[in-house]
Chains A and B, each alone.
Chain A
């Protein structure tokens, strides 16, 4: 049985009044229901993320959140990757939007998180035709994992772009990973600089990318 949202605080200290106002204005644009599904553990960051999601969900009637323990739903465990908790997937209603956040999207990463909500809620800025055409050229399944630090502005832009590509192309899934929370990952990929993008688990690509650079990379991958 899913955890009840009221098992966690309704407000997060991460969302200050000024940010709450900015987010409220953005989220007022949501045209459809968005569900934030979060796999939570017993750890401190999972509790922090749950409070964060509760707070965000309270900013728009279009938003809701759902908390699960790993093992409760193997399908969700697989989609969101239960090995990196907390893991939050953004759903358009009941449909998985292929945009996932591991950790708490604080610092610069709030931008990508807000962008993902707008995409799933049918309220993202339209992309120009050439960009949509490029995204459509990605013909193979790609799992994009952008390893970030929360203070990195290059990372935030790349995460937002990757998740927009994922939203627009059903072959693509994009994960934001706050690498600081996952030392095994840092060790595995020897991450000394961010962003570091991992494609399908084995190809690493360092550095920030524009949307055009990213789509070029993914179409040639």
Chain B
């Protein structure tokens, strides 16, 4: 199975719901800045609101990194609005909710379960050129963690801006000194 890292976002046009308004969204909206495309199976379910709320709570952190979030389900934008009207949690969502009833986006990102007409829980981070920098796809019942996604965004931005000549540092005070390994003898 081929991976999708580096895959270019393809042209699309869907309708979205954003804080009480309907408007079209295309690939141009998702380029020129970092974007998270966040698929979930359907509106009016139980795990989804907790994930979407988790993202709402971390939203300022994503904006501070110059990243917009787009949640996507296979519902229409009208259903998104109905859900927002019925739920204070959804009404407070600060990011656009895209409607994908034709499966255009879910197919493009490989998360559509055709027989159910629902999307797997897929998260895709696109760089400003619209290329996939990282992604994770969960089975239906497995939730995601917005704080961890924010950490990954920061790491992806760093590599995008500075190259990959770095190692992640996980500081553990009191760690034992690593046994030396003289493996750059060519330098000497």
Contacts and interface: CB of A to CB of B under 8 A. Distances in A.
B163 interface: yes
Given A16-B179, A106-B179, A180-B175, A22 B168 contact: no
Nearest to B177: A106
A115 B179 CA distance: 18
B contacts with A: majority SS: loop
B187 interface: yes
Contact of A209 (B165, B169, B175): B165
Contacts of A26: 185, 188
A125 B188 contact: yes
B180 A180 contact: no
24 contacts: A15-B180, A16-B179, A19-B180, A19-B181, A19-B182, A45-B177, A105-B180, A106-B179, A107-B177, A107-B179, A111-B184, A125-B187, A149-B167, A153-B167, A153-B184, A179-B171, A180-B173, A180-B175, A183-B171, A183-B173, A192-B158, A192-B168, A193-B167, A206-B166
A150 B172 CA distance: 12
Task: Bin chain B's interface residue count.
Answer: 20 to 34
Nearest to A119: B188
Task: Bin chain A's interface residue count.
Answer: 35 or more
Contacts of B188: 26, 111, 114-115, 118, 124-125
Interface of B: 154-155, 158, 162-163, 165-169, 171-173, 175, 177-185, 187-188
A14 interface: yes
A159 B135 CA distance: 34
Given A109-B180, A111-B183, A208 B165 contact: yes
Given A22-B185, A118-B188, A160-B187, 7 more contacts: A108-B184, A111-B184, A149-B169, A152-B167, A155-B167, A180-B175, A183-B173
